[in-house]
Chain A
Amino acid sequence: MFDNLSDKLDNALHVLKGHGQITEVNVAETLKEVRRALVDADVNYKIAKEFTGTVKEKALGQNVLTALKPGQLMVKLVKDELTQLMGGEAAGIDLSGNPSVILMSGLQGSGKTTFSGKLANYLKNKKTKKPLLVACDVYRPAAINQLHVVGDQVGVEVYSDEGNQDPVSIAKAAVAHAKQNGHNVVIIDTAGRLAVDEAMMTEIANIHSAIQPNETLFVVDSMTGQDAVNTAKTFNERLNFDGVILTKLDGDTRGGAAISIKSVVNKPIKFIGTGEKMDAIDVFYPDRMADRILGM
């Protein structure tokens, strides 16, 4: 769609140069292209506006218009700024607890159950942990089975209590079970829920306060559009989560939601999901994500 963003900006800026009117207004015009590109990449439109405001200041400071290739310089500026925005201090997972409890949260179908399996696999193999997976989705048809299948695939025990309709008590019992059986990590899978579903949001807030997790993760589908900000904000208000997981990045989505979420809640993006298989997990690289969003 905008593979040639840099060309476009070059053009726009050259045209302006030709007119001999190198002003703040001209830069602002050009930044409209950037904003449009960001919105096309699913960055929230308000955040895209703020972002281009920041870039504008920097562009004027760096005299973009006197550069030989002003478009390229502008793209570099944008890219660096994006990278910085999504970066920040590298954030691992808090494994200091005994056990360390990790709570998954997110919308329906975002990839929580799959990611729970991947994370268990990763912690088992890469960090020599002994995880326990916990089935706290008591609603979705076959959700418990799904977690059992996933657990079998990665060779990690799954705690479930079929018939128990209370996720809070399941979570508590699971943590006790983990302590008794030497599991040093507990990964709690929960049902998908909408941010506007008051009862379900209260439920997960209750799970959260009952087990006091070391790590609460918000799992987001990287194809999410403008609504990402609303969801992230509400989940963060209720859970004060520690990090974000971006799933389904093996697709061709630009993934602008990553910027929106980071801007709104200022929590690190910790891992990405890159496939349906249990080893399709990777740490998050802000610069790669910036390239992706800009279509480079």
Chain B
Amino acid sequence: AGKAKVDDEVLDDLEDVLISSDVGVATTIKIIRRIEERVARDKYLGTEELNEILREEIAGLLSETDSGTGDGFTFPKDKKPYVIMVVGVNGVGKTTTIGKLAHQFKQEGKSVLLGAADTFRAAAIDQLQIWADRTQVPIVKQKMGSDPASVAFDAVQSAVKQNVDVVIIDTAGRLHNKVNLMNELTKVKRVMQKVVDDAPHEVLLVLDGSTGQNAFEQAKQFTAATEVTSLAVTKLDGTAKGGVVIGISDQFQIPVKYIGIGEGINDLQVFNKFEFVDSFFKK
């Protein structure tokens, strides 16, 4: 009985850690159940082993396409330009992530072009222009208030003409419950296919790491509107853990590709699921 009590305590602590990392009740219960099963099956489990099992179980929930070994986007030779469309709710870090990605791709020797399809938010175009200057990549833009689909079209067309490797399209932040704005996004996506028929090759959904359970609904609605192919979780340089992506990745089978760990140009890392899980237990 003494041992069972200790196990319960450990599992209770674990539950607290997961919940406070925004993993959510349902996913936390799922993880705890899986661990309980293993604890019941295996005769003895020390805390060390428990930690290892925990890492395995959580890693198992994260999408299978998450290698966890550190692969970012790769660009197949026959997909040039490789078109990445970046979407998400307001203020999560889309534009900043685009700046960091542009920098990383350039470091890898790729040519990059940015498309300023956020024509709505105050100074959004100026902001992306500054990132284009910093990373020394060309930008395609129009006036504030112009049609975002038209900007995206222009950007992809320029990328084709200039024989650019990667084009990244910034879009305005929008809440996923706004039908008109979500339809607009679908249109932006579709218009690019007039230039490159399988564009966009990636739809990157950016999630703010401090967001709670609402991120689920974000993933659901953005996927419905644009078939999201990958996730980036930002602002993990703070105390927020971003645990909600575990359930999202599990349910929608979308891999987490990148994490944002600051506002600087180099503050982007390729997602590593084991480091991610470990971060929950760091104070």
Contacts and interface: CB of A to CB of B under 8 A. Distances in A.
Interface of A: 36, 39-42, 44-45, 107-111, 113-114, 139-143, 145-150, 153, 194-196, 221, 223-228, 230-231, 248, 250-254, 256-257, 276
B152 to A, nearest CB: 20
B125 to A, nearest CB: 8
A257 B243 CA distance: 16
Contacts of B238: 107, 194-196, 227, 231
A137 to B, nearest CB: 11
Contacts of B122: 113-114, 145-147, 149-150, 153
B210 A225 contact: yes
A228 B214 CA distance: 14
A103 to B, nearest CB: 20
Contacts, number: 137
Interface in B157-180: 175-178
Nearest to A36: B25
A42 B217 CA distance: 13
A139 B144 CA distance: 22
Interface of B: 16, 19-22, 24-25, 89-93, 99, 120-124, 126-127, 129-131, 144, 175-178, 208, 210-215, 217, 235, 237-241, 244, 263
A185 to B, nearest CB: 20
A139 B265 CA distance: 13
B211 A223 contact: yes
Most buried by B among A114, A139, A253, A257: A253
B92 A109 contact: yes
A35 B138 CA distance: 52
B214 A253 contact: yes
Contacts of B121: 146, 276
A142 to B, nearest CB: 4
A225 B239 contact: no
B208 A221 contact: yes
A252 B214 contact: yes
A126 B120 CA distance: 26
Nearest to B127: A142
Contacts of A140: 127, 263
Nearest to A42: B212
Contacts of A143: 123
A225 B211 contact: yes
A42 B214 CA distance: 9
A240 to B, nearest CB: 20
Contacts of A253: 212, 214, 217
Contacts of A149: 122-123, 144
B48 to A, nearest CB: 26
Contacts of B215: 223
30 contacts: A36-B25, A40-B24, A45-B16, A108-B93, A108-B263, A109-B90, A109-B208, A111-B91, A140-B127, A142-B126, A145-B122, A146-B121, A147-B122, A150-B122, A194-B237, A195-B239, A196-B237, A196-B238, A223-B214, A226-B21, A227-B239, A248-B91, A248-B175, A251-B89, A251-B214, A252-B176, A252-B214, A252-B217, A254-B213, A257-B212
A34 B1 CA distance: 31
A166 to B, nearest CB: 19
B22 A225 contact: yes
A224 B16 contact: no
Contacts of B90: 109, 111, 248, 276
A143 B215 CA distance: 26
